[in-house]
Amino acid sequence: MPIKRIWAATVWAKHSGSTHDWRFRGILTWVLPATDALFLAFGLIGWAVGVQTVVAITGHAWQGWWSLGVALAAGIALVGSVFPALWWLELAGKVPLVGLLTVYVAALAVRGVPTALLVIVLQLLPLWRVLDLSGAVLWLKSRGRL
């Protein structure tokens, strides 16, 4: 029984989300969780093996902490994106994630690596979600619902 209650609270439950989110349903149910899982894996793999671009700019110790930060922020954002009621947790994870990815883009750009553009594109989705959630919070506060 508790598994059914947990599943009912997820973004994949039959009646999750509201009807006004129909345009973004695919993004909210599949793309955002998959992106967060991708960044979580990136952070964990970076911690285990290292990210040479970041190592070249900052050194091994800072790169390890940076990778763990990416993994932690993405993990927090993943929980928030899977459970819509925890939207504040998604926001709390996505804000530092965007900042940490900006460091990575800067490290790639300093080294002249062309994949910096790819990372910028991957960063657009979390950045959009931060702006989307922030706008929703401001709208709810202005109506006295939060």
Report field, pTM of the whole predicted structure over 0.75: yes
Query: Which two structure tokens, joined as six digits, stand for 108?
Result: 């790639």
Tens-digit pLDDT profile for residues 102-114: 888 888 887 776 7
Query: Which two structure tokens, joined as six digits, stand for 37?
Result: 């899982």
Tens-digit pLDDT profile for residues 70-121: 999 999 999 999 998 998 999 999 999 999 998 888 888 877 767 777 777 7
